[in-house]
Structure 1
Amino acid sequence: MEERLSEVLKNSKSKKGPTTKYILNTTVLTKGKLLKNERIGGKNDKKPTKVILMVGETGTGKSSLINAMVNYIMGVRWEHKIWLEAVEISDDSESHTAVVTVFEVNAQDSPFSLIVIDTPGYGDTDGHNKDKLIPEALQQLFRSEDGIHEIHAVCFVWKASETRLHERQRYIMDEILSLFGKDIEKNIIVVITNSHETVPKKALKLIQTAKIPCAKNKNEPVYFQFNNCQSENFDEEDRKSYKASWDHGIENFKQFFDYLNGINPKSLDMTEGVLRARKQLDASVNNLKDRIVFADYKKQELEQAKAALEECEKGREKENNFVCEIDEAHKQEVQINSSWWHLSKQATRCTDCKENCHYPGCWWAKDLKWCSVMTNGKCTVCTGKCDHTKHVKDDKMYEIQRRKVKRTKEDLKKKYEKELGENKSLCIGLENEIKWLEAEKIRLVEECYQCLDKLMETALKSTSMSSVKHLDFMIEKVKETGKQERVQRLEDLKIRAQMENVGLYRSKCETIIIYL
């Protein structure tokens, strides 16, 4: 067997024992800040390829399962007395996967090649900050030309010993499911690890209680179970009892891949669209908040000028000496002081509109036309929907500030006489601009509502915390437009989110911010 695997085992570390363990020296094809691509075996483009994505909580055994899968595909069996590790396993309980890793597994005798996308475990000791980066890497993978564009299965990895659903797991499920479009549901498969039962009844009951969207067979979740013990070190005298566990794993993998052969791959267009829509919604709401603050400041500035001008017009003799002091709103470029977990310390901003369009900016987008907030090369966020060439990505942002300035009647005339004519009151010009600012605020709220509405239609879990974190802001602003039907819809969505995310809504709503 080792002869047949000589190419795969070349330069790999080995640990001798009753079962010799090989830490595979994989071929690293690409390695970025949060995404890595590795190959095992020689590539064969003539074979069909199966693509699976592994997601789950830290400690569920994803890495051990991937190693067992690699051994199965490579044809390793009990009698060969070897074990291959693509993901090196240590004794601690931390996630062994620091980045999203794509393993391309090519075995000479396998009828297909396998691509396994391994994700860092959600909810480990690095906290929510690392979890925020997983969607960033997946979007890059699903969006790039040489990335992954279709998938056969999303494997939701679950530990058989889990008998109750605690808040951490609710958060983890919530964030995992919020990554996908609705059309992926029938390709989600439950994989139960560390399972020694004939039927893992407790785990299945918990999965049904949690209402995890997944493929169903006669209204029961489609699941596969593995005991994850093949990699354990056994003494020579224990190897015979060990064989039963190994053979059981082989049979389960055969059933698993037979199932994959019977389903069609699913395009990731909708899922990539959900990831992009979340980013656009975040960027749009953040931009909208800035624009509303700026509009409010401008309105106050105009009202100050209007009040001073009206006071002046009461005493005509002083009109020529008219000077008023107002709080002028302006936008100032400032240095970014970013959080440690932001992969990008830069913001994408429009130099024409002087607006922040995306922060943190897409760390992987070297050309701004590929930034998540761009569609067909145009920005979906800034006021002018400007071309990507009007944008820059650097370490500065626009900050809305106010400063005291003095205005004379001549200053106001320069601004309004061209539109109103010399004989019209300058107050009319100020009133018109105040009305325009009110109309602009209504338009901005409508634009943001439509983005949220689109996300609700396409997301697999529309009540996830990352979907509803803007609800309070949106409800407040939609109320100002007087559209009661929409207010009711948003309030109903908030109630559903509170019911479906018990214990999470208050504690996470303001703190979990997923930058997609």
Structure 2
Amino acid sequence: MINYMLGVQREDKVWFEITDDQSDRTSVHSQTSSITVYGFYLQESPIHLTIIDTPGYGDTRGVKKDKEIAESLLSLSKSEEEIHEIHAVCLVINSTHNRLSDRQQYIFDAVQSLFGRDIAYNIILLLTHSDGLRHKNALRAVEEANIKCAVNDKNQPVFFLFNNCQTDAADEEDAEDTEEHEQRLDQSFNLSFGGMAGLFEILDTLQPKSLKMTRDVLQKRKQLEANVSNLRSRVQMMELKQNELKQTQAAVEQNKQDVKANKNFEYEVEVAYKEWVDIDPSKASAAMCCTVCEENCHYPGCWWVSNLSWCSVMKNKHCTVCTNKCHYKEHVKSAKIYETKTKKETRTYEDLKKKYEDKTGVSLVKMLEEELQALEKEKIKLVNEAFSCVETLEKIALNTDSVFTLQHIDFLIEKLKEINESEKAKTLENIKKRAGEVKHGALDYLTGFFKNKLK
């Protein structure tokens, strides 16, 4: 792009490259960021260009690193260097591929999951390693992968061809082939610069899109992930508490003669409790936790350090995730999380009466039943909140059935059925069905990564 903007020609025998000076970086451009913003305001060119580069998707560092790209884009949209709008999202695809691998499907799914649905017709395909002829297979692979992009008046994807081998030097040992080699380099140069000319031409016609909806998508997706992660642990705790209450009910029923005689007796129950433990470093480096509710409010995926009120789960300086919606000052960020565990505990009928002694006039069995019902109501509320997040994403996200959403679907379907929300469960089942085989490869890549981490 820069050589095109500078008007470099093949006969110039020169090629400019960008070097990365890491000695002078702002917070947005820090080494921990997964994106780099290049601003080009060249005196030699009438074009002013800003490129947001998002390298690293699907590499060996894994899904945790991929999520940092979304975090960085959200951060950029909120920073002092805020980018309000973009003209195009360019997806780079190898033109020689006739199908997308699981990893590639995952990558493009992840990229599309970043944006609002209003940006669909600003997505442009850039086909690399092109010989100028064979690219139909790559376009077919794009279509089969259900990648949304701009289309022409024939309803075909808008794409441009590139081949960067024009920078290669002729092999001095093959002098007899130098002329043929130079011809090939000329062809690739003309192909690439023709593609670049076409790209810049269409950039002049595209209406820029505000990043507001994209910001909403990123925020809502983070909220969904935090809610579901917190939901899993809270539902687990509730179900363990329900089990404890049922064991207590069974003990009361089994010793009903002693209850009638107001005679003390012992019984054993399995009790749930929270323990403050180190995070598995393969899953995350830190978490935002509430010290009052003893819950993991943002785990995994939390990265704010300097001010906890900036965390994406905070709104008006209060947490949107933990049970009591506590103030951010009641939270800590560290390399530890709360983990639910159980232990056997022996209790007595006297202990049980003391716990409920202030509720005079109500039978012990009735009080236990009311406590079970209260837990069930809280569970219903939590599951519905998570469903609401998915429903909102359906309305605003470009990629409504992203693998980042699909990985939570089965859990939510199961819990919705448990609380007799069959219609909502059916809605999620339809999302899963719609994704079908197209997303299976991407989901396999995502889950396969986690499985390998656990081995």
Which TM class, normalised by the smaller chain length?
Answer: 0.7 to 0.9
Q: Secondary structure at the match of 1:264?
A: coil
Matched, 1:73 2:11: no
Match of residue 59 from structure 1: none
Deviation at 1:294, TM superposition (A): 0.9
Deviation at 1:76, TM superposition (A): 3.1
Deviation at 1:130, TM superposition (A): 4.3
Match of residue 315 from structure 2: 375
Q: 2:129 aligns with which of 194, 205, 230?
A: 194
TM-score (norm 2): 0.85
Matched, 1:155 2:90: yes
Provide Cα deviations, 1:261-291, integer angstroms capped at 9, x if missing partner: 2222212222232222222212211211111
* Unpaired runs of at least 5, structure 2: 21-31, 173-177, 451-455
Q: Secondary structure at the match of 1:85?
A: coil
Instruction: Find the aligned partners of 2:349 and 2:81 in 1 and give their Cα distance.
Output: 61
- Alpha-carbon distance change, 217 to 385 in structure 1, aligned in 2, over 3 angstroms: same
- Alpha-carbon distance change, 258 to 407 in structure 1, aligned in 2, over 3 angstroms: same
Q: 2:338 aligns with which of 398, 401, 408?
A: 398
Match of residue 443 from structure 1: 381
Match of residue 466 from structure 1: 404
Provide Cα deviations, 1:108-162, integer angstroms capped at 9, x if missing partner: 1322321112222434455656444433333333333424332111101122222
Match of residue 29 from structure 2: none
Q: 2:303 aligns with which of 363, 382, 386?
A: 363
Match of residue 158 from structure 2: 222
Instruction: Find the aligned partners of 2:445 and 2:98 in 1 and give their Cα distance.
Output: 24
Q: Secondary structure at the match of 2:165?
A: coil
Q: 1:144 aligns with which of 46, 54, 79?
A: 79
**Percent identity over paired residues:** 45
- Alpha-carbon distance change, 376 to 184 in structure 1, aligned in 2, over 3 angstroms: farther
Coordinate RMSD, CA, aligned:
2.9
Letter in 2 for 1:190: L
Query: Contact (CA 8 Å) 2:131, 2:188: kept in 1 or not?
Result: no
Q: 1:86 aligns with which of 18, 28, 49?
A: 18
Q: Secondary structure at the match of 1:164?
A: coil
The one of the two structures with greater contact order (alpha-carbon pairs below 8 A, sep at least 6) is 2
- Alpha-carbon distance change, 208 to 415 in structure 1, aligned in 2, over 3 angstroms: same
Displaced runs of 4 or more, over 4 A: 124-130, 234-245, 310-313, 502-505
Provide Cα deviations, 1:293-326, integer angstroms capped at 9, x if missing partner: 1111111222233333344441368635344333
Match of residue 265 from structure 1: 208
More strand by share: 1
Q: 1:387 aligns with which of 305, 327, 343?
A: 327
Q: What is the correspondence of 1:237-386 to structure 2 with a 5 Å cutoff?
A: 241=183, 242=185, 245-315=188-258, 319-339=262-282, 342=284, 345-386=285-326
- Alpha-carbon distance change, 217 to 365 in structure 1, aligned in 2, over 3 angstroms: farther
Instruction: Find the aligned partners of 2:136 and 2:378 in 1 and give their Cα distance.
Output: 57
TM-score (norm 1): 0.75
- Alpha-carbon distance change, 373 to 87 in structure 1, aligned in 2, over 3 angstroms: same
Larger mean CA deviation between 448-457 and 167-176 belongs to 167-176
Aligned positions, number: 431
* Unpaired runs of at least 5, structure 1: 1-68, 89-96
Letter in 1 for 2:169: N
Letter in 2 for 1:183: D
- Alpha-carbon distance change, 302 to 119 in structure 1, aligned in 2, over 3 angstroms: same
Provide Cα deviations, 1:317-346, integer angstroms capped at 9, x if missing partner: 86353443332222121222321x74xx21
Deviation at 1:214, TM superposition (A): 0.6
Query: Contact (CA 8 Å) 2:106, 2:441: kept in 1 or not?
Result: no
Matched, 1:232 2:168: yes
Query: Contact (CA 8 Å) 1:178, 1:467: kept in 2 or not?
Result: no
Letter in 2 for 1:391: H
